[in-house]
Amino acid sequence: MATTSFPDASPHKKHAATPAPPAHPDLAGSGAPRGATSASACTAHASPGDLVVTAAEPEFARQFGLSADEICGYGLLDLLRSPVPARLRGQFTALSSGRCRRFTESVTGRDGAGGSFCAEVTGVAVRNPSGDLVGVVVFLRRASDAVSGGPVLSALDAQVLEGVASGQSTVQLASRLYLSRQGIEYRVGQMLRRFDAPNRPALVARAHALGMFAAGQWPPRVLPEHVR
């Protein structure tokens, strides 16, 4: 089973690479999923059971400081990290089991220099003409190529998010921001939906992963470019 560690300077491969699965009919001619808005998505193929990379475009491997040959044998969950790890694993499980045909999720990765980057990953199930699952294709878009840095918030929503990130309760936030408790709960609920987060800790984790908070600052502050 794949772990959630990142690759280091001496990659440990799960097994030898296998040929890439055939193209999926849902894939557009440009190599990106139909409906994708970016032409700069880079691609990798993985086996459906253990999510081990079997083939990858050089540009995909380069995101992680690896070559196309070196990245073969890595588990996708070794390379990609989600603010809610169980959710990302669940998305791939649903894809492999046939419960969904594709998904898109915000993730982070680590480049060859040890720095982190934000990206959007789309997973697509690949089936042969008889309907059997033969592989998974993933399309990766760096945040600079996709919608960078997450949602833009109103000034009030940014204050609510900062309060949630600093551990303030609904009552404390309502008192500080001169809102009702229902008003706070409404705004938090709206952000949970926008960030596709199941609860407050996941909301904060996702905002951190998207680079919305100023680094090394306490109490947390949302960066000005994410406030309208």
Collapsing DSSP to helix, strand or coil, 20 comes out as coil
- Cβ atoms of 204 and 195 within 8 Å: the answer is no
Of the ranges 33-42, 111-120, 157-166, which one carries the lowest mean pLDDT score?
Answer: 33-42
Structure tokens given for 157: 């929503």
pLDDT for the residue 88? 87
- Cβ atoms of 64 and 79 within 8 Å: the answer is yes
Task: Return d(Cα 187, Cα 84) in angstroms, integer.
Answer: 21
* DSSP alpha helix (H) spans, 80-199: 85-97, 155-165, 170-177, 181-194
| Residue 209: pLDDT over 80 | yes
Domain ranges of the chain: 42-142, 155-226
- Cβ atoms of 142 and 218 within 8 Å: the answer is no
pLDDT for the residue 13? 52
Q: Domain 155-226 is of which CATH architecture?
A: Orthogonal Bundle (1.10)
Of the ranges 8-17, 83-92, 98-107, which one carries the lowest mean pLDDT score?
Answer: 8-17
- Cβ atoms of 197 and 167 within 8 Å: the answer is no
Tell the CATH topology of 42-142: Beta-Lactamase (3.30.450)
DSSP state of 27: B
163-189 mean pLDDT = 95
* The dihedral sign for the CA sequence 137, 75, 211, 208: positive
- Cβ atoms of 210 and 150 within 8 Å: the answer is yes
